[in-house]
Structures are given as structure tokens and as C-alpha cells.
Amino acid sequence: MDLYTSPLFRYALQYSARFDRRFILSGGYGLVYPGASIEAYNFALRTMSYDDRQAWARSTALRIRRHVPKGAKIYWLCGKTYREFLIHRLSDYVHVAPLAGLKIGQQLQWYKKRCKLPRLN
């Protein structure tokens, strides 16, 4: 999972270790297991067309349903672009987005209060 190396991602990954199941939302691959080996890609979900983001959300929601029991609580440790089309497709789950509305610097501070990682560059 060397593709994702930002401090924000590293904090999210470390924080998510407290949950029974955890997955990474990838613009290129949809739902990815931590530690999975994937090929690099050069685009972001936020640069995709509306229709392409809807198609991504449809296929990703199906994969989430295969791995997460109906009614489970889903913690969204991702930006709005990744969760916006997924949440309404997963209305039979409980959704928690603790970082919603926080700017990146505020998100980093939120994680720093809750995670014990070595100093990130």
C-alpha cells in the first residue's frame, strides 16, 4: 500500500486499526484491503465526471455490502468526495463521519490527539 503515503492517510490507517473490519476507498480500485498490492494510477476521484463517480459509487457500494453486514456502523475516515454517493446507497447502515466539515489541518490535529505515531514529515 505504498501508493498512499500522506500523513493524513497514515493517521487514518493507524486510527482505523481499532475497528473489526477496515478498507481503503480508492478512486482507481474502489474497495481495497489494507496491505493489498495494487498498481499505481494517475487520477483522483475528484477529477472524475459526475457519471463516473456515480458508477464508482455503485460498484463500491456493492463490494461494501459483500463484506460488511447490513445494519453495521460504518466510520468514514475519508473526504466528502469519497462518501457523498456511497452513503445514500448504503442507507441501511449507520454512518459516522467524525472528520466531516474539518479542514485538513484540523483533521491532522484530530488524529494527533487520538493516535500515537512517530513524527510525520
User: Domain map of the chain by residue range?
Assistant: 7-114
DSSP 69-102: -TT-EEE--S-HHHHHHHHGGGTTSEEE-TTTT-
Q: What's the pLDDT score for residue 119? A: 56
Residue 15 corresponds to which cell in the numbers above?
Answer: 486510527
Amino acid identity of 111?
Y
Q: What's the pLDDT score for residue 1? A: 44
Cβ neighbours for 81, distance < 8 A, ≥ 6 positions apart:
45, 46, 53
List the chain pLDDT tens, one digit each, 121 residues: 455 678 898 899 899 999 989 999 999 999 998 888 888 888 889 999 999 999 999 999 999 999 999 999 999 999 999 999 999 999 999 999 999 999 999 999 999 999 876 555 4
Q: What's the pLDDT score for residue 38? A: 87
